[in-house]
Amino acid sequence: MEKSLRASLPPIYEPLLSDFFDREAIVETRATCDDCEMCNKGQHPEGVEATYFRPDVKCCSFHPSLPNFLAGSILSDERAEAAEGKKRMRALIAARIGVTPHWLSPSAKYHMLYEAARRASFGRTDNLICPYFDEDGRCSVWRHRESICTTYYCKFTRGVHSGKFWNALKGYLSFTEGCLARWSSREVDKEVTEIQVNPHQLTLEELEDLPPNEEMYKRHWKSWVGREAEFYMACAAKIRGMDRAAFEKVVDAAPRGKDLTTTLKTMYANAIAPRLPDKLKLHPKLKTLLLVNNKGMAITTPYNPYDIFSVEGRVYETLQELTHDTTFAETRAQLEKDGTPLDDELVKVLASHEVLIAPDHPILAQQAKAVETPPEKAGQSAGEEGA
């Protein structure tokens, strides 16, 4: 039997999620964590400039924000393989930086550095390395990972359809984390209050990597100061004691929860059974490179710059024949008649990765709007709005 969506998520959610999560899990075989596909292993043709991750960093140049109940799940995990993660977490809690009743988070300083540097340095610097990334190059808290680490993949087997599904699942799990963190905190102690952090300003303590102001810290944590780990474990116990009906009331029945669930189901259906559009043509914003000795084209997809496809030169020329003026079936029939057949499976793969796009793709609407609105008119409109 195939692994289910439910079984692929942190175990604390297992009895709480709806029947939807009993469906088959989407497995990303192209994202190889133990032998990172994003590291340079000579997988791309000569001359292709690709972004590579460092083997000692991979995609772990990211510090997750763990909700209290997942932090508590880690601290309560009695398995031998959980010891390293627990040790690292207790050290973070003792430092009191990013330690709040709802979350165990990176510092505000880390967050600002990450946001400023991630586009240029993600996967390529150990200055942003996750504190749970162990010496063997593995995550020491993986079993109880949060929403971003659960749903991030560098490459997708089902292309953009997978990407949209994982983004929808991230949204649903992120909402779930917030709801359950607030609920469990109230259940453990109503007197405890969340510490608010300004993401755009740093206190002196945050700048110098020091614990927060003692008086302020005690005002929020109340009697749990020095017992933060115990509080997190109590939050995890509250979630473990929750039943499906209570979870539905707190998460799924909320207006936002309903919207996120609907989107998630739609994106899952699209990923499991993607529809090949009737009309296709090459994406107008492809980044292409003629390979050495005219051996073909290297193509980088706009939706995922980490993904590079190599296509034979004659195949790429054939793809250029596709337009939105005729259906794909009509163009393919004509190409076959002319002695240049086009492989259906290749077309499906390229369409799923948006190398080929349908007439309703947003990029085409953006281009049309740009043509309709000259730059000087756009500037004038912006000025009028500003006035």
What's the pLDDT at 374? 61
What's the pLDDT at 116? 95
What's the pLDDT at 387? 32
What's the pLDDT at 386? 38
Same domain, 231 and 359: no
pLDDT(377) > 60: no
Q: 376: pLDDT confidence band, cut at 50, 70 and 90?
A: low
What's the pLDDT at 339? 84
The residue segments making up the domain with residue 339 are 281-364
Same domain, 247 and 302: no
pTM above 0.85, yes or no: yes
Q: Tell me the angle at which helices 228-240 and 68-76 cross, rounded to the nearest 10 degrees.
A: 100
Same domain, 224 and 101: yes
Same domain, 151 and 210: yes
Lowest mean pLDDT among 62-76, 218-232, 336-350: 336-350
Does some domain include residue 378?
A: no
Does some domain include residue 316?
A: yes
For the chain, the domain total comes to 2
Tens digit of pLDDT for each residue in 154-189?
999 999 999 999 999 999 999 999 999 999 999 999
Same domain, 195 and 320: no
Tens digit of pLDDT for each residue in 243-290?
999 999 999 999 999 999 999 999 999 999 998 999 999 999 998 888
Tens digit of pLDDT for each residue in 17-32?
999 999 999 999 999 9
Q: What is the dihedral of CA 268, 273, 276, 281, to 10 degrees?
A: 40
Of 251, 272, 293, the one marking the end of a domain is 272
Same domain, 294 and 341: yes
Same domain, 196 and 227: yes
Of 208, 239, 272, the one marking the end of a domain is 272
Q: Do 83 and 74 meet the contact criterion of CB atoms below 8 Å apart?
A: no
* Cα 249 from Cα 341, distance rounded (Å): 55
pLDDT(334) > 70: yes
Tens digit of pLDDT for each residue in 309-331?
888 888 888 899 899 999 998 98
Does some domain include residue 372?
A: no
Compute the mean pLDDT over every residue in the chain, rounded to the nearest whole number: 91
What's the pLDDT at 191? 97
Same domain, 288 and 223: no
Q: Residue 194: what are its φ and ψ, rounded to 5°?
A: -75, 140
Same domain, 267 and 291: no
| Dihedral-angle region of residue 287 (phi above 0 means left; psi in -120 to 50 means alpha; beta otherwise) | beta
Same domain, 288 and 265: no
- List the one residue out of 113, 106, 74, 78 whose CA is nearest residue 92: 106
Average pLDDT over residues 40-63: 90
Q: 291: pLDDT confidence band, cut at 50, 70 and 90?
A: confident
Same domain, 244 and 356: no
Does some domain include residue 385?
A: no
- List the one residue out of 126, 153, 111, 135 whose CA is nearest residue 61: 126
Q: Do 146 and 181 meet the contact criterion of CB atoms below 8 Å apart?
A: no
Of 250, 272, 294, the one marking the end of a domain is 272
Same domain, 125 and 151: yes
Does some domain include residue 34?
A: yes
Does some domain include residue 74?
A: yes
What's the pLDDT at 375? 57
